[in-house]
């Protein structure tokens, strides 16, 4: 898998659970641009989830 494509964490965790330490060790080697893109993706998702409304009970 190339470093420019995001990894499917859900699939990874179903195969073998990844510890927080393993994730940090892997992510420390990401480029600044990759870190920035992941951060902005997280901000967009957070903004979307904060606007979500549950319409059924």
Segments forming the whole domain that contains residue 38: 31-57
Would 56 be classed as within a structural domain? yes
Please report whether residue 21 resides in a domain.
Answer: no
Tens-level pLDDT at each residue, the chain (57 residues):
455 555 555 545 456 677 889 888 888 999 999 999 999 999 999 999 998 888 887
Task: Determine, yes or no, domain membership for 18.
Answer: no
Residue 20 lies inside a defined structural domain of this protein: no
- Determine, yes or no, domain membership for 5: no
Note the pLDDT of residue 7.
Answer: 55
Residue with tokens 């190339």: 2
**Nearest alpha carbon to residue 39 among 6, 1, 2, 3:** 6
Residue 49 inside a domain? The answer is yes
- 35 domain-assigned: yes
What is the number of structural domains in the chain?
1
CB environment 30-57: b (16+ within 10 A), e (fewer): eeeeeeeeeeeeeeeeeeeeeeeeeeee
């Amino acid at each position: 898998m190339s470093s420019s494509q995001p990894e499917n964490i859900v699939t990874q965790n179903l195969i073998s659970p990844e510890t927080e330490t393993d994730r940090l060790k892997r992510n420390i080697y990401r480029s600044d641009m990759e870190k920035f893109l992941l951060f902005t993706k997280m901000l967009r998702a957070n903004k979307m989830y904060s606007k979500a409304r549950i319409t059924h009970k």
